[in-house]
Amino acid sequence: MPIKVVFFDLGSTLICAKEPWPPVLARADRELVRSLRQAGVSIDNTLLYQGFGTFLDAYYAQRGQDYIERTTIVILRDRLIENGYDSVPDPILRRALGSMYTVTERNWHVEEDAVSTLASLRENGYRLGLITNTSDEDNTQALVDQGGLRPFFDLILTSAGCGIRKPHPRIFQIALDHFKIQPEQAIMVGDTLEADIAGANNLGIYSIWITRRVGGSDPSTGLRQAPPDNSEQGPTIQPKAAIQTLSELPALLENLRRPSP
């Protein structure tokens, strides 16, 4: 079947961090706590994070338990309830998280070849979708608009919005159903082996691993990724193809379009 839709991950695929995350997250935490205290929630940082370095560390610690997305507003509410603040209104929580994300949003910028690549794919007749794991829907939508990416996408699907994280097949199936296509008519481009590549492979979507941010720590999780042939745990996750930059993608898709000799 011909490829009709190209799906992309967001963080470390279309956008990347300008600065190392630890000092940025420290500033973000200060804004989170400042906003809560202005609303009369005088909670101590230590109690809020419960032994984790930052609030987002506490969020990521629970993220590996299953593929259900528990967003940061859920985690923040739970932490406050555990410390005696059991009736903080959602608008106060949202305002505090907005203050935190305002800091982290400033640390993301669009990859220099992202816009030109997306434009080229649209000109070549592909429809585009975004499938991303995220701690907060509003934060992701802000990042999409901040980078000027929205005009290229027919679908922006987040784990915060649908409640399920990659690599769970459900989030990919929602995207396929939106475009009314079969898995063989789609491609997934992402930087994370487990979430993007394994998730796509498991459903029969052609997986393309973008590697330029691999080898260091994922800026959103702090987890280090190893190349697929360098696992110490046995069989590895294998992408169908790998590229180092987004600018390589149009030529790769053109080659896939050509019939085999």
* Last residue within a domain, chosen from 43, 72, 105: 105
User: Does one domain contain both 139 and 86?
Assistant: no
DSSP single-letter state for residue 84: T
User: Does one domain contain both 198 and 96?
Assistant: no
User: Does one domain contain both 121 and 156?
Assistant: yes
Where does the chain show beta strands of DSSP type E? 5-8, 15-17, 108-110, 127-132, 155-158, 186-190, 206-210, 241-243
User: Does one domain contain both 141 and 208?
Assistant: yes
User: Does one domain contain both 158 and 218?
Assistant: yes
User: Does one domain contain both 173 and 94?
Assistant: no
User: Does one domain contain both 84 and 118?
Assistant: no
Q: Please report, in tens digits, the pLDDT of each residue of the chain (261 residues total).
A: 899 999 999 999 999 999 999 999 999 999 999 999 999 999 887 778 878 889 998 898 888 778 999 999 999 999 999 999 999 999 999 999 999 999 999 999 999 999 999 999 999 999 999 999 999 999 999 999 999 999 999 999 999 999 999 999 999 999 999 999 999 999 999 999 999 999 999 999 999 999 999 865 444 444 334 444 444 544 489 999 999 999 999 999 999 987 665
Where does 140-254 show beta strands of DSSP type E? 155-158, 186-190, 206-210, 241-243
Q: What is the pTM of this model?
A: 0.92
Neighbours of 180 (CB within 10 A): 9
User: Does one domain contain both 91 and 172?
Assistant: no
Q: Name the residue with tokens 């816009």.
A: 115
Per-residue pLDDT, 112: 97
User: Does one domain contain both 164 and 207?
Assistant: yes
Distances (CA, A) of 234 to 156, 166, 228, 229: 35, 22, 10, 10
What CATH number has the domain bearing residue 229?
3.40.50.1000
Per-residue pLDDT, 45: 79
User: Does one domain contain both 219 and 251?
Assistant: yes
Which range marks the domain in which residue 181 is found? 5-18+108-257
Number of folded domains in the chain?
2
Per-residue pLDDT, 137: 98
User: Does one domain contain both 205 and 218?
Assistant: yes
